[in-house]
Structure 1
Amino acid sequence: MQNLLELARLKGARFLQSSTSEVYGDPLQSPQVEDYKGNVNTYGPRACYDEGKRAAETLILEYRRAYGVETRIARIFNTYGPRMRPDDGRVISNFVVEALLGEPITIYGDGSQTRSFCYVEDQIDGLMALMASPDWHQPVNIGNPDEHSVLEMAEIVLAKTGSGSKLVFCDLPQDDPMIRRPCIARAKEVLGWAPRVGLDEGLEQTIAAFLKELDNGQLHHVAAQ
């Protein structure tokens, strides 16, 4: 990170940090606004990723203050779409692959935890808008505020794929966030950006892409979340 920031300083380049909603930890407020300081366990199985991203944001801020580097910070929420790796362990890729292969769909906990899913094209449009913004250095949430429970997502995927897969419930991992929903008021005001692709359309595109991989013999068993 510091090497990249040094390069941006030397070349006078604009620097974009792909941060994450994980900086909010297991939030106690919803939706999550950028000024929310989060509820993060600094000593747990998720801590390395969460704290690494928080530290990166701090380093970026200091490079802006000390050296005037033009910086942008995007806090990215759950993203999905075609070309997802089938074994990357994300909710939608796991569910779609398991459904298409007729394997049990694994749900951690009781499935009541929520996520907000942003289609990849919307995500890219948001990042491009942030990079093109004239002078904005505060973090910006880039995500879709349309919130669904994990159990609801499994049922939607089953319906859309026509799969007969059964639901299997496992223990919830430590520090798994129970709610995840971005407030995108800042993105709307500063960037003029909001997601355009709804969940139905986005899932259909994603399932079609995975079906193509299945037809080509490229779809294999999904990795554990």
Structure 2
Amino acid sequence: MNIDTSLSAALAARRTNSKTSDLRRTVLVTGGAGFLGSQLCDRHVALGDEVICVDNLETGRLQNIAHLLDRPNFRFVRHDVVDAFDVDEPIHLIYNLACPASPEKYQIDPIRTFKTSVYGAMNLLELARQKEAQILQASTSEIYGDPLVSPQPESYWGNVNSFGPRSCYDEGKRAAETLFHDFRERHGVRTRIARIFNTYGPRMDPRDGRVVSNFVTQALRGDDITIYGDGQQTRSFCYVDDLLDGLMALMASPADIRTPVNIGNPGEFTMRELADIVLRKTRSVSRMVFKPLPKDDPRQRRPDIRLARELLDWSPKIALNDGLDPTIAYFAAELRSNGVRVAAGA
């Protein structure tokens, strides 16, 4: 299996093992064993690129990339982006997806979360500067905090609490965007910034604590579906395939894109509506229970994607009603593999 503990060794192996390496791009994906990163690796491996997947496996899962480990143009490197690294070989594209994205996970060690966003960005930007690589930052709709305008355009500065339980993630991502801007202006690094809105689909960790994971897993188990607040707060849900199309379009665009770009689905649903859809699709007997809304949990989140349409000719194609089917099937298979009985409709 293609597993290494150093990036230098991984890239040296790529040079040795591939006779056509000079004709291929080398693509570095941090957070590459995660929900999004692993499927991004899939796509670039299928394109014939040399793919270096970097992950510390704190929230990423080896099972997400197990099918790639024997591919000649794929290499997994267990490494934490908080720590600097250096390589001798060329790198053409870098996707920085390394950071826990679930509030439940990133609040476990908020200092570590902030360092992952900031130190990780600095280390990868420096690598991109040295290699003259193009680099994409996976930013977030959390940049906008609890927004006072809807939908949220990229020009909106946000309404963010810098002193709350979610601040480690929100402010870390904001600082990373600043670093991307400064490295571009000062060093000419070719940067891209994607502000990713709520994304769902296969390979989500059923235990990650995000709303789709929670609702689907609870419904499949027959447990109460936990809704925080009155259920009227809204989110916009983008299926993973649409999201990856957007990231790759942003990376491939020949335009000189200096601004962050929202990537998400503008379709807006209340938490109550999402729970109703999940219950109907799983035919679950679960009931909804309501608990107090956590501090700083935003009441509304909806992307303005006019810029993505204009610059990338991108917009999402998969409706929530359709994207939930493969998502539920994936979660049901995960639960069954662990000996859990699931709802009859799954």
TM over 0.5: yes
Question: Aligned match of 1:188 in 309, 314, 332?
Answer: 309
Q: Rate the CA distance shift 1:114–1:219 in 2: closer, same or farther, 3 A.
A: farther
Identity %: 65
SS in 1 for 2:322: helix
Q: Rate the CA distance shift 1:218–1:190 in 2: closer, same or farther, 3 A.
A: farther
C-alpha separation between the residues in 1 aligned to 2:137 and 2:290? 35
Give 1:137-176 correspondences, 5 Å limit.
Answer: 137-176=258-297
C-alpha separation between the residues in 2 aligned to 1:210 and 1:48? 29
Q: Quick check: 1:20–1:74 contact (8 Å CA) kept in 2?
A: yes
Larger radius of gyration: 2
Structure 2 counterpart of 1:153, which letter? L
> What is the CA deviation profile of residues 114-133 of structure 1, one whole-angstrom value per residue up to 9, with x for unaligned ones?
00000000000000000001
C-alpha separation between the residues in 2 aligned to 1:176 and 1:36? 18
Under a length normalisation based on structure 1, what TM-score does the superposition of the two structures give?
0.96
SS in 1 for 2:139: strand
Structure 2 equivalent of residue 118 of structure 1:
238
Which stretches in structure 1 are left out of the alignment for 5+ residues? 221-225
Structure 2 equivalent of residue 71 of structure 1:
191
> What is the CA deviation profile of residues 175-219 of structure 1, one whole-angstrom value per residue up to 9, with x for unaligned ones?
100000000000000001000111111001101111222332266
Q: Quick check: 1:104–1:167 contact (8 Å CA) kept in 2?
A: yes
Structure 2 counterpart of 1:50, which letter? D
User: Is 1:37–2:152 an aligned residue pair?
Assistant: no
SS in 2 for 1:129: helix
Structure 2 equivalent of residue 94 of structure 1:
214
- After the TM superposition, list the runs of 4 or more consecutive aligned residues in structure 1 that deviate by more than 4 angstroms: none
Q: Quick check: 1:79–1:119 contact (8 Å CA) kept in 2?
A: yes
Which stretches in structure 2 are left out of the alignment for 5+ residues? 1-120, 342-346
User: Is 1:54–2:174 an aligned residue pair?
Assistant: yes
C-alpha separation between the residues in 1 aligned to 2:309 and 2:284? 38
Under a length normalisation based on structure 2, what TM-score does the superposition of the two structures give?
0.63
CA RMSD of aligned residues (A): 1.1
SS in 1 for 2:162: coil
C-alpha separation between the residues in 1 aligned to 2:165 and 2:331? 30
SS in 2 for 1:26: coil
SS in 2 for 1:83: coil
Q: Rate the CA distance shift 1:113–1:13 in 2: closer, same or farther, 3 A.
A: same
Structure 2 equivalent of residue 28 of structure 1:
148
* Higher RCO (CA-CA < 8 Å; seq separation 6+): 1
Question: Aligned match of 1:13 in 133, 151, 163?
Answer: 133
